[in-house]
A and B are shown apart, each in its own frame.
Chain A
Amino acid sequence: MSEPLSLDPRVVGVILAMAAVTFVTKAGGLWLLSRVEVSDRLEAGISVLPGAIVIAILGPELASGGPAEWAAAGLTLLVVWRTESILLALIAGVVGVVAFRAV
């Protein structure tokens, strides 16, 4: 585990590049989209990206797990639906996966 205060120059470089491209996406909308028209069609395509990418990560991750992971994922989903609390959902998921694996 790395020291809390250590800063690897390569890591910092990648982080700053992430920050730069993110700022471009945030500022670019106001700058560009107030000058050109974006079709509703393209807008619809862009707006599904975050959810689709989350699913694209989650799918293979869960597929490589087993019944314990699937049950814990279901439990996490149930808790986040009912309580709308991320923290409670994460705790439920983690406690759940430990319990289900022990079964």
Chain B
Amino acid sequence: MSNPRPDAESDRPDEGADSDGAESQPVTFRRRGVRAGFLTALPIALGVGGYGVAFGVLAARAGLSAAEAGLMSATVVAGASQIVAVELWADPIPVTTVLLAVVAINLRYSLMGAALQPWFSRLSARQAYGSLFLMADENWALTMRDLGSGSGRGAFLLGSGLAVWTFWVGSTVLGVLAGGKIGDPARYGIDFVLAAVFVALAAELWEGRSSLVPWVVALASALLAARFLPGQWYILVGGALAGVVEVIRYDE
């Protein structure tokens, strides 16, 4: 980009001017960016707290202590996959199934991280990968908007991530402590929290009509697999088949 060949330039004289965008803006990594990210993300972090409480209640039901659930929220920092993991939790822990589900659900983060490349390629490895540790759906979306507008604030993901992380971990611990105090869960409808969490998650993940086919595939195959396969295989079967069908039918 910095050294266009003369012949290429004469072919497409506009190229240099057109392709600027993200490439030509300076990207900084300063305290100001952290602060802007943190403050921008606060309202959304409050909403993340709602999920955190629910996750904590579910984690308590799965037998996790406040310290364990808090540790999970602090180190994994990926809500949907954590909720699925505690749903799969049993004694002994089905480690392979849990890890496979976590990877499958979190694969989208690879695409999201790649989308940050035009800006993050100009940060140091420590700055870039340290920030990515705190990447969640919410603060990624805010960061893309901020960087896309040309702010050049490379620390925005870190700042917004810190806001989300603080509320996520705090509300998780709160949820475990509250969940641990409840006696017979069915009496208060607590056994329904998981289903309700997933209904809410589904509403958020719905992307309009393009979601219809993969979701119907996931639903049908999961119902069948739940009937004929042991354990929790139906979750991976439903997810994997939906992904495969989407890949096959992509350009229809």
Contact = CB atoms under 8 A, between A and B. Distances in A.
A72 B68 CA distance: 31
Given A29-B109, A52-B238, A93 B196 contact: yes
Contact of B247 (A42, A61, A85, A94): A42
A40 B105 CA distance: 18
B158 interface: no
Given A44-B250, A89-B199, A18 B114 contact: no
A56 B237 contact: yes
Given A22-B81, A30-B129, A51-B214, A90 B196 contact: yes
Interface size bracket, B side: 35 or more
Contact of A51 (B81, B85, B206): B206
Contacts of B98: 14, 18
Contacts of A22: 76-78, 81, 102, 106, 109
B234 to A, nearest CB: 6
A61 B232 CA distance: 11
Contacts of A19: 72, 75-76
A57 B101 CA distance: 11
Nearest to A25: B106
B67 interface: yes
Interface of A: 1-8, 10-12, 14-19, 21-23, 25-30, 32-34, 38, 40-63, 65, 69, 72-73, 76-77, 80-81, 85-87, 89-90, 93-98, 101
24 contacts: A6-B65, A7-B65, A7-B67, A7-B71, A21-B99, A22-B77, A29-B110, A42-B247, A48-B243, A49-B242, A52-B218, A53-B218, A55-B202, A55-B219, A56-B222, A58-B195, A59-B219, A72-B196, A76-B195, A85-B47, A89-B196, A93-B192, A94-B196, A98-B187
